[in-house]
Amino acid sequence: MINIAIVSGGSGLIGTQLLHQLFLESKYDYVISVARRELSIKNHKLIQVKVDFENFGGAHLEESLRSGDLGGDNHGLIKHLKDKTYVMHSFCALGTTIKKAGSKEAFFKIDHDYVINFAKWAKELGAKKFLYVSSLGADAGSSIFYNQVKGQVEEDLKKIGFDYLGIFQPSILLGDRKESRLGEDIGKVVMRLVTAPGLFKKYKPIYDHKVAKAMLYQALEKSSQGVEIISSVEMQAFG
């Protein structure tokens, strides 16, 4: 029996940290990154699978692993998948911004449809746990479009029926982004000032690595079942 971590959103702020944490974690034998294009990361545990998030239903993991595997590096993993001798945990840090997506419609497709398509696929593969990075303020009934979409994703994930669904709701994220987000940069400064005396703790900006470590903890150390919301305050405890 082997342990597999399958990840979407590995190129983002939290996703990058998550991959590095998974590489260091001895309990995972393989780390499968699912993305539209190959990541510029190398590790002996890492296997990259390119997919079309819009047509995830047709994505077959075994076929993807065989494709281009001339050296037979994936043979062991393929056998475990075929024999169903594995435990799989699925991690999702997939997301964008309305500005980067170009429109509300495009944002919804990426932050909602792609996430749900990935989750359904992971469930079909046999993933028992699904750990999803949402956002502080996520609420399907919110008047704020971003929060509304995140809340809708949470509600739709609950319908898929994972043994365990961990929903992580971080505040403004701190870390080394590849692109600058002016609104977030201003927000970080303001919230640091507001939370300095200890007020409004739940809004305190949080580092990417703390979210990643919290996700691994919930996946490996908690035997909970059902749905669990992990707040930004709870994640701050991870060093």
Average pLDDT on 213-238 reads 93
Could you say which of 3.40.50.300, 3.30.2310.20, 3.40.50.720, 3.10.180.10 is the CATH number of the domain covering 2-174+206-235?
3.40.50.720
pTM of the model: 0.90
Burial of 114 (0-12, 13-18, 19+ CB in 10 A): buried
- pLDDT (0 to 100) of residue 107: 97
The 10s digit of each residue's pLDDT in 22-54 is 999 999 999 999 999 899 999 999 999 988 888
**pLDDT tens digits along 154-208:** 999 999 999 999 999 999 999 875 555 445 554 444 445 454 555 578 899 999 9
In this predicted structure, the answer to whether residue 228 has a pLDDT above a threshold of 90 is: yes
| Domain locations in the chain as residue ranges | 2-174+206-235
Chain centre distance of CA 97: 15
The amino acid at 219:
A
Phi/psi of residue 93, each to 5°? -120, 30
Give catalytic residue positions.
146, 150
- For CA atoms 26, 29, 35, 41, the dihedral sign is positive
Asked whether the CA dihedral 111, 13, 134, 104 is positive or negative, the reply is negative
Distance from C-alpha of 53 to C-alpha of 56, rounded to nearest angstrom:
5
Question: Strand pairing partners for 46?
Answer: 31
